[in-house]
């Protein structure tokens, strides 16, 4: 059985392997032992915190195969971004150059650097290892976070974003960054991606263009990838679209990948979720549900067959044990397929 739980210190080796396998462009999983250890420590601390409102907490989870004890994936939630370091995006807008006398009307696309998402929650660090990419595992690893956010709403913002990985080739070269590198930064994309991942972001404010960029001045290759995602990110984007996330014109400042957003109350998995008391028995006429317990530090989540009847969620003893719940304890659940 696959379970999802908070990351622990002895998961370092598995997280490090995920970082290696994720490749260039996966900024939240840099191949850096010091930073990965720091991420684990921050997460452990966040789960222990008695939180009143969202702050700099960072919750990192792992998916574990209980049959083998192997960690096969990870995903995370940032409670409120941009509180410690500036959180940058480009916003895609327009300016109009017009003259009635000359009968000229030219709308021009522009990119303006901004910090508009400061304070919102972010789902991030979603990575599932190749050997586990089957069945509902990917869907489970992504969607359980919506139940965790709904269950512990005071810990998170009412708005959630996800930064999607932009277009780059097998060597990590980004067409969008290539233009910025040539004119402003003089650093290749893998280097910039690494520096950002380890938290060295001061160069952004120092070297970024100070004024809006006219998109028509970019190379054709750079223009073509604005708002587009990496081929390996397309399934994740489709899932988020199905949950009600949409892009409102914000893209990453390095690879121009889209950032999508949704209000928590409008996320389909949240809308479909319910709370119920556990009844341990052999469920009949089952549905595959994502089920989470209502705990924080001792959080557990599973995707398992269960039945909702008579205000109870009927589940097997194995499922209840995986969730660390007893008869009568509360859980939150939602169908894995909506």
d(CA 106, CA 5): 53
Q: Whole-angstrom distance between the N-terminal and C-terminal Cα of the chain?
A: 22
d(CA 64, CA 113): 39
- C-alpha distances (whole Å) from 21 to each of 29, 116, 271 are 10, 32, 34
d(CA 83, CA 237): 26
Neighbouring CB atoms inside 10 A of 95's CB total 13
**How many residues in the chain?**
338
d(CA 163, CA 55): 19
Residue 230 annotated in active site: yes
Burial of 131 (0-12, 13-18, 19+ CB in 10 A): exposed
Instruction: List the catalytic residue out of 91, 97, 183, 230.
Output: 230
Sign of the dihedral defined by the CA atoms of residues 232, 221, 164, 64, in that order: positive
Closest by CA to 188, choosing from 70, 24, 76, 59, is 24
| Helix residue ranges per DSSP H, the chain | 12-22, 33-48, 137-151, 175-180, 189-197, 202-207, 220-225, 234-242, 268-272, 317-323
d(CA 260, CA 160): 8
E runs forming strands in the chain:
2-6, 58-65, 70-78, 89-99, 104-114, 121-128, 159-163, 213-214, 246-251, 258-263, 274-280, 287-293, 301-309, 312-315, 330-335
d(CA 315, CA 305): 7
Known catalytic residues are 230
């Amino acid at each position: 059985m696959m379970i999802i739980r908070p990351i622990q210190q002895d998961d370092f080796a598995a997280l490090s392997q995920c970082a290696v396998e994720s490749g260039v462009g996966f900024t939240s999983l840099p191949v850096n032992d010091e930073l990965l250890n720091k991420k684990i420590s921050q997460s452990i601390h966040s789960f222990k915190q008695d939180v009143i409102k969202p702050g700099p907490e960072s919750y990192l989870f792992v998916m574990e195969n209980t049959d083998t004890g192997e960690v096969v994936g990870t995903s995370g939630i940032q409670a409120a971004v941009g509180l410690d370091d500036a959180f940058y995006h480009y916003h895609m807008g327009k300016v109009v150059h017009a003259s009635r006398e000359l009968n000229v009307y030219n709308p021009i696309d522009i990119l303006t650097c901004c910090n508009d998402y400061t304070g919102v929650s972010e789902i991030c660090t979603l990575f599932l290892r190749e050997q586990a990419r089957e069945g509902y595992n990917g869907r489970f690893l992504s969607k359980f976070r919506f139940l965790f956010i709904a269950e512990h709403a005071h810990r998170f913002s009412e708005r959630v974003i996800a930064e999607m990985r932009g277009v780059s080739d097998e060597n990590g070269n980004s067409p969008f960054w290539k233009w910025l590198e040539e004119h402003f930064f003089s650093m290749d994309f893998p280097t910039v991606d690494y520096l950002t991942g380890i938290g060295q972001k001061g160069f952004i404010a120092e070297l970024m263009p100070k004024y809006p960029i006219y998109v028509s001045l970019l190379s054709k290759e750079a223009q073509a990838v604005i708002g587009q995602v990496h081929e390996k990110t397309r399934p994740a984007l489709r899932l988020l679209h199905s949950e009600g996330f949409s892009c409102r014109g914000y893209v990453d400042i390095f690879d121009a990948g889209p950032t999508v957003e949704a209000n928590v109350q409008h996320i389909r998995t949240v809308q479909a979720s319910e709370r119920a008391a556990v009844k341990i028995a052999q469920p009949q006429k089952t549905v595959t549900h994502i089920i989470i317990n209502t705990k924080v530090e001792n959080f557990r989540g599973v995707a398992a067959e269960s039945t909702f009847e008579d205000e109870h969620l009927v589940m097997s003893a194995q499922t209840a044990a995986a969730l660390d719940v007893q008869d009568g304890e509360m859980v939150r659940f939602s169908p894995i397929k909506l």
